């Protein structure tokens, strides 16, 4: 899959995902903490399947 996330978008996803997982590992278990895996992985990979489905691309081209 081609990248569809820009630098700021990716950084924000990694920070939010890591923060949510940090809360989970500290013992504050809520569904939101484990959902942090999704933004972390999509931020590291640079591709968001939901963005692809709805046609969003925050990655600068050219």
Where in the chain are the domains?
A: 7-45
Do 52 and 3 touch, CB atoms closer than 8 A?
A: no
Q: What is the pLDDT of residues 1-14, one digit of tens each?
A: 789 999 999 999 99
Cα three-residue angle 39-43-44, rounded to 5 degrees: 120
Residue 62 pLDDT = 44
Q: What is the pLDDT of residues 37-60, one digit of tens each?
A: 999 999 999 999 999 999 999 988
Which pTM value belongs to this model? 0.85
H/E segment holding residue 5: none
């Amino acid at each position: 899959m081609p990248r569809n996330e820009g630098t700021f978008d990716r950084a924000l996803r990694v920070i939010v995902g890591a923060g949510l997982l940090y809360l989970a590992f500290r013992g504050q278990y809520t569904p939101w903490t484990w959902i942090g895996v999704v933004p972390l992985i999509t931020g590291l990979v640079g591709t968001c399947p939901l963005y692809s489905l709805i046609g969003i691309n925050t990655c600068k081209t050219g």
